[in-house]
C-alpha cells in the first residue's frame, strides 16, 4: 500500500477542492501557461517549417540549383549536358539564355528577367510546367515570338493570353537614324503562378528567339542543373568548374536565395528558444504552487510520517502532483497546437476572405499564403522539453516537503 501512496495521494491533491483558492488559481495559471506555451511553440515551428518547405519547393523549384556558364558562349551545350548528367549528384540539365529587360504596354512599364528556354528540356530542372495557369510551355515555338508571363507581372501590365507586349533590352542598336534601344514585340501565350515573388519578375520565351534577340547565334548562355540534394549545390558547382577549366563560371541558388533560407533557419531557432523560455516560466510557476501546497499540508505530511511514510514517499507525493499539473497542461497544449498547425492555412484564408485583406503580399514576401507543415519530430522534442522543465520544477518543493519534521509540526496541532 505504501508503494502506491505517492501516486494515490498526489492525484488526490490535484483533484481535491482546496480551501486556499489562491493556490488553486496559481495551479490553473501554471497549467494554462504550459498549455499556451506548448500550443504556440508547435504552431510557430509548423509555420516556420511551412516557409522552409515552400522555399525549397516553389522558389528553388523555379530557381536552378546550379548554373554553369561559358565566358564566350556555349555552343556544344548538348554534349556538355550529357557529360554533366553522368555525375552522381546531377539529375537534370537544360540550356538557357537570360536577358534582363523591361516590358511596356499601354503606358505601363515593368522590369523582369526573361529566361530563354527549350520547352522540351525545361521540365528537367524546373516546376514551371506544373504551375501554368493558362497556356502551355509547348506554345513557345521558335520564330513565333511567344512569351509566358508570371501572374503578377501580367496583372501589373494589364495583359492576358493573346495580348502583345514590347520587351526593351538594355542594349543599343546602331542604325543610320541613330542609336536606339533594342526592342521586340511578343505575344503572351501563357501565364504561370507559383505563389511567390517570381510571379512578378520572371518571364519565359523560346531559347532560339532569345538567341536572336541577344545576337548570340547558336550559342546559349549556359546550363541550368538540378541536383539530388540542394545543400550540396555549392560544393558540386565548385567541383564542376574545377573540372571544366577557366573558361567557365558557376553559381548556385545560395547566391540568389541563400540569405532568405538562412534567415528562416535562424528565425526558427530563435523563436523556438524564446517560446521555450515561455514554457519554462509556466513550468516554474509550479514551484510556487507546490511550495504553497507544502506549507498548507504540513499537518498531513506530519501524520503520514508518523504512520510510516518515508521522506522518499513524501517527495513522490508532491512530484506526482506537480507532474499531473504539467501533464494536463502539456496534453491540452499538444492537442490545441496540432489542431491549429493543421488548420492555420485554411483559418487565415477564411479570415482574409471575411475581412477582405491579404496578410502576405507576394510582392513583399516570397509567398502569398501562410504555409504550415507539422513535423512530429518537433512535437516530440517540445513534449520532452516541457516534461523535463516540469520535472525540474517539482524537485525543490518535494524536497522541502520531505524535510518536514513531524514532531515540530504536531507540537502545535
89: closest CA among 222, 237, 224, 261?
237
Residues 315 and 176 in one domain: no
What does the mean pLDDT of the chain come to? Answer: 81
Residue 336 has pLDDT above 90, yes or no: yes
Q: Which residues contact 112 (CB under 8 A, 6 or more apart)?
A: 100, 101, 102, 103, 149, 150, 153, 200, 201, 202, 203
Residues 185 and 267 in one domain: no
Length of the chain: 413
Residues 54 and 80 in one domain: no
**Domain final position from 184, 218, 252:** 218
359 pLDDT tier (thresholds 50, 70, 90): low
In a domain, 71, yes or no: no
What distance in Å separates the CA atoms of residue 33 and residue 358, rounded to the nearest whole number?
A: 31
90: closest CA among 203, 228, 190, 266?
228
In percent, the amount of the chain with pLDDT more than 70 equals: 85
In a domain, 267, yes or no: yes
Residues 129 and 39 in one domain: no
2 pLDDT tier (thresholds 50, 70, 90): very low
Alpha carbon 269 to its chain centroid, in Å, reads 12
Residue 11 has pLDDT above 80, yes or no: no
Residues 176 and 49 in one domain: no
How does pLDDT run across 122-143, given as a tens digit for each residue?
888 888 888 888 988 888 988 8
- Whether 53 and 319 have beta carbons less than 8 Å apart is answered as no
Strand partners, 108: 105
DSSP result, 55-123? IIIIIHHHS-SEEEEEEEEESSHHHHHHHHHTSSSEEEEEEEEEEEEEEEETTEEEEEEEEEE-HHHHT
339 pLDDT tier (thresholds 50, 70, 90): very high
Give the helix ranges, DSSP H, for 356-375. none
Phi–psi pair at 253, nearest 5 degrees: -65, -20
Instruction: Please identify which residue in the block is written with the cell numbers 500550443.
Output: 39
Residues 189 and 278 in one domain: no
Residues 274 and 394 in one domain: yes
Beta strands in 176-265 (DSSP E): 178-192, 202-206, 220-227, 248-252
**Domain final position from 218, 253, 282:** 218
Residues 201 and 148 in one domain: yes
21 pLDDT tier (thresholds 50, 70, 90): low
Residues 277 and 202 in one domain: no
Residues 30 and 125 in one domain: no
Q: Which residues contact 337 (CB under 8 A, 6 or more apart)?
A: 38, 39, 40, 41, 42, 43, 46, 379, 382
Residues 119 and 184 in one domain: yes
| Predicted pLDDT of residue 259 | 72
How does pLDDT run across 220-231, given as a tens digit for each residue?
888 999 888 877
Domain of residue 163: give its range.
Answer: 76-218
Residues 110 and 192 in one domain: yes
| Predicted pLDDT of residue 271 | 79
**Domain final position from 152, 185, 218:** 218
How many distinct structural domains can be found in the chain? 2
Amino acid at each position: 500500500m505504501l508503494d502506491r501512496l505517492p501516486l494515490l495521494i498526489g492525484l488526490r491533491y490535484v483533484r481535491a477542492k482546496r480551501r486556499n483558492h489562491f493556490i488553486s488559481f496559481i495551479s490553473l495559471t501554471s497549467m494554462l501557461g504550459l498549455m499556451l506555451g506548448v500550443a504556440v511553440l508547435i504552431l510557430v515551428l509548423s509555420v516556420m517549417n511551412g516557409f522552409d518547405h515552400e522555399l525549397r519547393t516553389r522558389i528553388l523549384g523555379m530557381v536552378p540549383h546550379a548554373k554553369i556558364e561559358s565566358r564566350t558562349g556555349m555552343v556544344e551545350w548538348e554534349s556538355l549536358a550529357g557529360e554533366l548528367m553522368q555525375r552522381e549528384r546531377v539529375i537534370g540539365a537544360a540550356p538557357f539564355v537570360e536577358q534582363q529587360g523591361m516590358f511596356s504596354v499601354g503606358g505601363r512599364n515593368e522590369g523582369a528577367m526573361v529566361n530563354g528556354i527549350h520547352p522540351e528540356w525545361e521540365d528537367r530542372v524546373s516546376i514551371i510546367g506544373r504551375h501554368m495557369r493558362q497556356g502551355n510551355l509547348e506554345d513557345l515555338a521558335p520564330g513565333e515570338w511567344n512569351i509566358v508571363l508570371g501572374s503578377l507581372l501580367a496583372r501589373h501590365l494589364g495583359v492576358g493570353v493573346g495580348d502583345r507586349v514590347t520587351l526593351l533590352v538594355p542594349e543599343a542598336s546602331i542604325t543610320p537614324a541613330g542609336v536606339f534601344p533594342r526592342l521586340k514585340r511578343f505575344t503572351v501565350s501563357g501565364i504561370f503562378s507559383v505563389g511567390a515573388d517570381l510571379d512578378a519578375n520572371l518571364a519565359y520565351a523560346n531559347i532560339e528567339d532569345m538567341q536572336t534577340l541577344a545576337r548570340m547565334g547558336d550559342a546559349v548562355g549556359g546550363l541550368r542543373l538540378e541536383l539530388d540534394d540542394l545543400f550540396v549545390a555549392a560544393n558540386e558547382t565548385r567541383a564542376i568548374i574545377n573540372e571544366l577549366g577557366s573558361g567557365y563560371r558557376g553559381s548556385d541558388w545560395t547566391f540568389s536565395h541563400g540569405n532568405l533560407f538562412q534567415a528562416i533557419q535562424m528565425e526558427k531557432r530563435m523563436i523556438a528558444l524564446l517560446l521555450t523560455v515561455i514554457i519554462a516560466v509556466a513550468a516554474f510557476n509550479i514551484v510556487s504552487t507546490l511550495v504553497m501546497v507544502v506549507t498548507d499540508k504540513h499537518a498531513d505530511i506530519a501524520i503520514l510520517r508518523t504512520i510510516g511514510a518515508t521522506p522518499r514517499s513524501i517527495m513522490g507525493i508532491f512530484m506526482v502532483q506537480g507532474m499531473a499539473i504539467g501533464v494536463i497542461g502539456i496534453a491540452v497544449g499538444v492537442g490545441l497546437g496540432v489542431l491549429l498547425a493543421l488548420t492555420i492555412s485554411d483559418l487565415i484564408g477564411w479570415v482574409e476572405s471575411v475581412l477582405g485583406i491579404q496578410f502576405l503580399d507576394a510582392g513583399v514576401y516570397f509567398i502569398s499564403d501562410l504555409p504550415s507543415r507539422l513535423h512530429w519530430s518537433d512535437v516530440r522534442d517540445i513534449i520532452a522539453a516541457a516534461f523535463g522543465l516540469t520535472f525540474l520544477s517539482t524537485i525543490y518543493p518535494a524536497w522541502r516537503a520531505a524535510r518536514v519534521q513531524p514532531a515540530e509540526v504536531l507540537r502545535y496541532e
